[in-house]
Amino acid sequence: MPDYLFDSTESEWRPHPRFEGAFVKPLITSEMNPGLTLSRVKLLPGGELPPHTHEASAETFYILSGEAHCRIGDEETTLKADHCGYAPPGISHTVHNVGQEDLHAISIFNPPLR
């Protein structure tokens, strides 16, 4: 029987497969839930997820701590703890840690990235 409840502090950070200075900690995988994935994301000070798109998936993210400049399509703002953003499929978006501390966020993809 799968584990439905778990302590995410027991998972290890992994380097982001595409972006230097970014780390991910998968929490809910597509094997656990075929409808979405949920990960913790850590972005070092000065780190950036440069402009990119996800053609078939929407990305929703929620800032846990830190400060980031975010651009989704033509909209941009500074995000802090308890702020969130939504990038529909095919819309360019970027996140840049402009703070002096690590940026921590939760990222949800639906459907999961392929």
Q: Rg of the chain over CA atoms, in angstroms?
A: 14
CA dihedral 52, 56, 62, 65 (to 10 degrees): -30
Q: 3-state DSSP call for residue 9?
A: helix
User: Which tokens go with 57?
Assistant: 């998936």
* CB 22, CB 65: distance < 8 Å: no
pLDDT at 1 over 80: no
pTM (predicted TM-score): 0.92
Task: Give me the count of residues in the chain.
Answer: 114
In order of start, what are the domains of the chain with their CATH numbers?
14-110 (2.60.120.10)
Over residues 18-63, the pLDDT tens digits come to: 999 999 999 999 999 999 999 999 999 999 999 999 999 999 999 9
